Each structure stands twice: as structure tokens, then as C-alpha cells.
Amino acid sequence: APPFKWEDPLASTTLFTEEELAISETAERYCQEQLLPRVLQAYRDEHYDPAILREMGELGLLGANLEGYGCAGVSTVASGLITRAVERVDSGYRSAMSVQSSLVMGGIHAFGTAELKEKYLPDMAKGKVLGAFGLTEPNHGSDPGSMETTARPHPSKTGYFLLRGAKTWITNSPIADVLMVWAKLQETGKIRGFLIDRRDCPPGTLDTPPIKNKNGLRASITGMIQLDDCPVAEANVFPDIEGLKGPFACLNSARYGISMGTMGALEDCISRARTYALERKQFKDNPLAKYQLVQKKLADAATDAAYGVLAAIQVGRLKDEGKATPEMISMVKRQNCDRALVNARVLQEIFGGNAVSDEYGIGRHVANLFVTQTYEGQSDIHSLILGRAITGIQAFA
């Protein structure tokens, strides 16, 4: 048998097609050569450079598993390998990409009219038009069904709605050209999807202030969406989708991407901790890596990363065959985010005091992974989704 590889303990690469391996290599090379050198300063400055999405677009990494409109049309596993490569550098960079690709492009692709797809998808695939996805509100995060944002027919302009309300914690909102906002029709209370084009909004009707001074995900820009009777044309409303199914269908793809992405972040923590443990000596001339307690930390983390990747591959394959259920996605999203966070926190201990220096990168991953465990359904919410499927009893309310 070939030798054991600590970087890929269960030989997951044997499960990838030639095309998937090539896409993974392209993404990993770009991320290590172009993103890694920028991330420390970007994180310190809480800065996101929109040029990153254009660079990703040039390489065909945006909306990669969508068909047509300039998108690559690759497998779900391949799209997961892209998120894994990006998140190996930083969850914030993956976040900006996930929102663009899975939530906004995915939503337009699934629910948009032919005109909306033609108008937005090719430029979004190139990273020339940037998107944001507004579901969460100040008073309603885990329970988006209780949202307060409303849409009512424009009193004087036929064929238009007026949107009113606020969305918060919205990735990319301050830099987005198009904002996919989920709101309730005032008349019926039904949730519908609206595509707001910033260029069409009269002054004072749309504001997207940034949320500053975050202690995680600092390399991604986050903000609010404030709507003050913002006019949206009927042509920009998704015609055939009503209720929470719309946003949740987009979330299924993004949650999948996170399940593979967080494994990239964990793998980077393992690699950094292993290197540090081999170099740092304490007690006589022994490297930390010689101590059994340190070895166990590395063994636990490598096991969880290897299992997490395998589970994500399985769910990705089922998704492409149309056999993946939302509960499967909840399971890999919850498990991989939880295990990435727990292991990253333990591996951080190996760095001793140096863990506190941002130069070592480990603290950044730990802070980011807390966010991944929180957004797109906090882990306890995914526990309840699974619990409901296991028992048949709903425990949310």
C-alpha cells in the first residue's frame, strides 16, 4: 500500500475525478499564491478588496457548479473543493465567495426569470457585479419566518413594489450591486424574493452601512440593508417561488459549501500546529511534537478533518444525483463546523503564548470558525432540524 499521508489520512483524493482534481489544484494555487499573502493585513484592517471576486471570476471559480451563463457547470464536489481551498486561507474570503456564488447566483439561477438570468449571471460569474443575500433581521435570525420586512404595491407607479424594513449581518452588503432581499407581501404575509439593483434605487431609499469592529471574519465585509420604501419593479421579483423554500433552497448549496470549506480551515490549523510542534522545543531538546498529549491533539484533529471531508464528498455526490435531503446537509454543516471549531481551539494551545500573535494565523481561524458555526443556521438549530427528522416532533417553538 502507498504510505500514509497525514495531509489526506483516508486518501479522499482517490474519490475525485480528473476534472475535480484539476479544479482543486487551480483553486489551491490561486489561494496560496494570491490570497494568503494579503490576508494578515486585510484582517488587521477589516478590509475586503472586491478585486478578489474579479480574480476568482477570471479563474471560473464563481457559481462554478451552475450551468450556462458563463459558469463552469462542474460537480458539487468540485465546487466544495473550491470553498475548501479558499477557506484554507480564510473563512471570510470563502464567505464573500459563497454569498456571490451559492446564495445570489444560485438563487437567480434557480428562481429568476430568463431576463434576470441574462442580465445578471454572466457579469456575476466574472465578479463584475457583486451580490448580497438579505434574510436575517435585527429581531429575527434563527427564525426568519417571523421577518418584518414588507413589500406593498407602489401607490402611484404600476408594476412596482415598495420595500420597507431592515436586514442585518449581511455579508457583502456595503459593496453589493444587487441585493437579494426576502420580504413578506403586506397583503398576504407570503415571503417572496426581490432582486434590488442599487443603481435603480432613488436616493434615501436604500442604505447599506457596514458593521464595524467585528472580532471574527474581519477579512469579509458585513453590513445592514435598510429599506425605506425602496421601489422594486415586478420584473425583479422571483415569479414562482413563495415561502421559506426560496431562501432555504439557496442555503442548501451554501451550507454544503461551508461543510467542505471549514475542513480547509481545519486542515490549515493542523498543518500550522504540526510545523510549530516540530520546531518548538521545551524540556531538554525535545520538540513539542514528541509529547503524547500534543500528538493526541493532532491525531484527533486529523481524524475529524478526514471524516468531515469524506462525509461532504458523499453528500455532494448525492446532491448531484438529486438524492440529498436538507437534513443530510444540516448534518454535515453542523458536524464539520463544530469539529473544525473544537479542534482549532485545541490546536491553538500548541502555540502557547505565540497563539496570541496574529502572525501565527491560528487565532484568526478560531475566531472565524465561531462565525461559521453561527451563520447559515447555528449548530443548535441544525440539531433541532435533525431532531425533528429523527423524532417527528418539532422543537423550535
Which positions are annotated as active-site residues? 376
Q: Which does 362 bind (CB under 5 to 8 A by kind): ligand FAD, ligand TGC, none?
A: none
Size of the site for ligand FAD (CB under 6 A): 20
Q: Which residues are CB-contacts of 275 (< 8 A; sequence separation ≥ 6)?
A: none
Q: How far is the CB of 370 from ligand TGC (least distance, A)?
A: 13
> Which neighbouring-strand residues pair with 305?
none
Q: Which three cell numbers stand for residue 193?
A: 424574493
Q: Is there binding between residue 144 and ligand TGC (CB under 6 A)?
A: yes
Residue in 15, 12, 22, 128 with CA at minimum distance from that of residue 72: 22
Residue nearest to ligand TGC (CB): 326
Binders of ligand TGC among residues 245 to 304 (CB under 6 A) are 245, 248-249, 251-252, 254
Q: 3-class DSSP state for residue 163?
A: strand
Q: Which does 13 bind (CB under 5 to 8 A by kind): ligand FAD, ligand TGC, none?
A: none
Angle of helix 292-320 relative to helix 326-349, nearest 10 degrees, comes to 160
Using CA atoms in the order 216, 217, 219, 224, what is the torsion angle rounded to 10 degrees?
-110
Among 133, 194, 238, 351, binds ligand FAD (CB under 6 A): 133
Is residue 208 within a helix (H) or strand (E), and if so which, with residue range? none
Place of cell 425602496: 230
Q: Is there binding between residue 387 and ligand FAD (CB under 6 A)?
A: no
Among 83, 171, 262, 335, binds ligand FAD (CB under 6 A): 171
The separation between CA 237 and the C-alpha centre of its own chain, rounded to angstroms, equals 24
Q: Of 134 and 257, which CB lies nearer to ligand FAD in the complex structure? A: 134
Q: Is there binding between residue 171 and ligand TGC (CB under 6 A)?
A: yes
Binders of ligand FAD among residues 313 to 332 (CB under 6 A) are none
Q: Which three cell numbers stand for residue 283?
A: 524540556
Site residues (vs ligand TGC, CB under 6 A): 95, 98-99, 133, 135-136, 142-145, 171, 243-245, 248-249, 251-252, 254, 326, 375-377, 381, 385, 396
